[in-house]
Homo-oligomer: A and B are copies of this chain.
């Protein structure tokens, strides 16, 4: 069980939780995982940003004038100063507009096409091999104990759905993320489709939105939540609150040799407190990549 987890306080806390969860009715065995930085490496860039940059290159190849738009110019030049000045919301809005009008099937095909060829920019391996092996083992162990496993991501719902089954065995309805709105389009032959708009439905799925959207979309309260950033704090505390056994697990990126060493921050969240101080104050279990994981990445 959990072969890539080294013996220690963290592994013991996980095993104790798993044992105690046997007392919980199966319908309440619900686990929710953040994606970027929790199940999948998020450095040097979120993989969704790499996908959007690939979409931008595609769009520019069709219509070079697109590259002149201020946000796209800064992205193509990787001009950090200009990007910072424009702000992530404006950048994201410009990228989202590139995909407006696509059906979910079109969008899914684009994402699958991207992952079929994409390699991590530094390690040069497919993104499947950037999944964290210890977390995959934890998911498998949870399922063997009749847990339902879901994802709650700050990333786009449809982007994560496109890889959810293949990467984690999570079906589309199990993905809670930042949502784009849809329009209903009726073709001349009477057929009805939904197409992407440029509008987000509600705020990004970070912070307080995570427990709200878990209830809205899934309707089930987790007793295990795993995350790695300030944007996961409310979700982790939400999982910790039930009367019975619960586990709030924070992945700490402290291994510059095998992964990356950084203080996790959500894209749209910054807090004065370090995430490790928050974890200590909140009673979360911390998984140190350096100390607790004997293997970091999935071999295949």
Contacts and interface: CB of A to CB of B under 8 A. Distances in A.
Interface string A1-44: 00000000000000000000000000100000000000000000
B173 A212 contact: no
Interface stretch (A58-66, A137-145, A179-187, A263-271): A179-187
A285 interface: no
Interface string A180-210: 0111101000111110000001100000100
B211 A241 contact: no
A148 to B, nearest CB: 8
Number of copies: 2
A234 B184 CA distance: 8
A237 B201 contact: no
B173 A104 contact: no
A161 B220 CA distance: 10
A194 B217 contact: no
Interface string A136-161: 00000000000000100000011001
A172 B183 CA distance: 25
Given A105-B221, A186-B237, 10 more contacts: A104-B219, A172-B219, A173-B219, A173-B220, A181-B216, A182-B215, A184-B211, A184-B238, A190-B237, A192-B238
22 contacts: A104-B221, A105-B221, A157-B216, A172-B220, A173-B173, A173-B220, A175-B219, A181-B216, A182-B211, A182-B212, A182-B215, A184-B208, A184-B211, A191-B237, A192-B211, A192-B237, A192-B240, A192-B241, A193-B238, A193-B241, A201-B201, A201-B202
